[in-house]
Chains A and B, each alone.
Chain A
Amino acid sequence: MPKQQANWSPYDNNGGSCVAIAGADYCVIAADTRMSTGYNILTRDYSKICKLADKCVMASSGFQADVKALQKHLAARHLIYQHQHNKQMSCPAMAQLLSNTLYYKRFFPYYSFNVLGGLDNEGKGCVFTYDAVGSYEKVGYSSQGSGSTLIMPFLDNQLKSPSPLLLPVQDAVTPLAEAEAVDLVKTVFASASERDIYTGDKLEIVVINADGIRREYMDLRKD
């Protein structure tokens, strides 16, 4: 009798893609709103974007149950921080908190692929990108999720990521205007929806700048 293998997994992949782009005085964070399992759609209207602090927003794709638990944990930690320090957490501070939270569960990870976006203390845009266990890096732009392999090369091409071999080290924050960055995000998601079956339905775009936080929606392919 062949050996029986365990076939129950605590994880599931709900699909979807997220993107964040940092500008000189703004930050754009976007994600599609499709939640799926296997070949089925669970809902066409699920937000993967969560506001963690006044100037700090996180978009996550992967297993949404783990994402929801992670968001709750971070929100609770932020509340404690506000009580203790009488101020909001800055984006770089939240970035490190997220990394530590993810590594805490190194041996039973949150199946959550995150991208954090916001403004730093000087009002300049910043984006942090993560893997599932907390390895993070400050970058000028990033994408995660099922469509990231389709999106990332196009962003690399358009946002002129300078070669890390050149010295002095150049900041990858894009010189594009806010409207152009939003336009780029719309194009990128329209293209990803054409070729990735898990990306589609609707696009949610969040823009953070000195005036505050603004939300915008766009329809994507529903097939």
Chain B
Amino acid sequence: MLAKKGVNPPSFRKTGTTIVGLVFQYGVILGADTRATEGPIVCDKNCEKIHYMAPNIYCCGAGTAADTEAVTDMVSSQLQLHRYHTGRESRVVTALTLLKRHLFNYQGYVSAALVLGGVDVTGPHLHTIYPHGSTDTLPFATMGSGSLAAMAVFESKYKEGLTRNEGIKLVTEAICSGIFNDLGSGSNVDVCVITKGGKEYLRNHLQPNPRTYTNSKGYSFPKKTEVLLTKIIPLKEKVEIIEGGDAMEE
């Protein structure tokens, strides 16, 4: 309706990243690629996109890196204070509510798209949180510019009640799909498995992109600038030194 009046909906840019999460038999598994981009340039080939929230809750972040770091750190601190206050283990819905309230308050200006997953007394949970503050509760989820490539894999191969190894394999396949088919994602696969018993953070679980060529002899970098002219001008002659002037006023 608004489009008829000439107001186009704002176009949004899914920034370079592939992040995923799925629920398996004993808990949740989160996955992420490790490429950080500034436009067309890779600024970090091995960054960490799976953030700690609580001992039993982790959160993958896509969007502006500063925003995802800041918002997950902030809610992680809030959860710790809440744990001290209540004397109980944190629940995923608590993290969810804290995050979505913050993002909604900033009306989408905090550009963080998150996949939140964890296991608490109520069971395993997986949620997606959008920059404007809306949330979904899903059995499997993907976010970021590579989300379509990853979701294609999930939609083909996901089923309920996956085992741990099946789950890790599927998450890895989905992230690899993003890494190879989306230019905004790349480098390595990070995986995090969360169960009732505890968590397993598999940093660089897969490294399918080694450097393709290294010269055996290496390169030397001699001094390059040619000397065009050598002239020494003593500076003291250019300055008149007056002895015994007034000391500066305090």
Contacts and interface: CB of A to CB of B under 8 A. Distances in A.
A39 B182 contact: yes
Interface string B176-190: 000111111111000
A4 B209 CA distance: 45
Interface size bracket, A side: 20 to 34
A196 B42 CA distance: 6
A223 interface: yes
Contact of A163 (B5, B35, B226): B226
A220 B212 contact: yes
B84 interface: no
Interface string B43-54: 001000000000
Interface centre among B40, B45, B185 (most CB of A within 10 A): B40
A27 B180 CA distance: 33
B122 interface: no
B156 interface: no
Contacts of A187: 213-215, 219
B6 A223 contact: no
B41 interface: yes
A216 B93 CA distance: 57
A8 B42 CA distance: 29
Interface in B198-250: 208-209, 211-215, 219, 221, 224-226, 228
Majority SS of interface residues in chain B?
A: loop
A39 B185 CA distance: 9
Contacts of A162: 226
A19 to B, nearest CB: 14
Interface in B37-71: 37, 40-42, 45
Given A39-B145, A222-B180, A195 B41 contact: yes
22 contacts: A1-B5, A2-B6, A39-B145, A41-B183, A146-B40, A150-B41, A158-B219, A160-B224, A163-B225, A163-B228, A165-B228, A187-B215, A189-B213, A190-B213, A194-B45, A194-B211, A195-B42, A197-B40, A197-B41, A197-B42, A222-B180, A223-B180
Given A39-B183, A197-B183, 5 more contacts: A162-B226, A195-B42, A197-B37, A198-B40, A223-B35
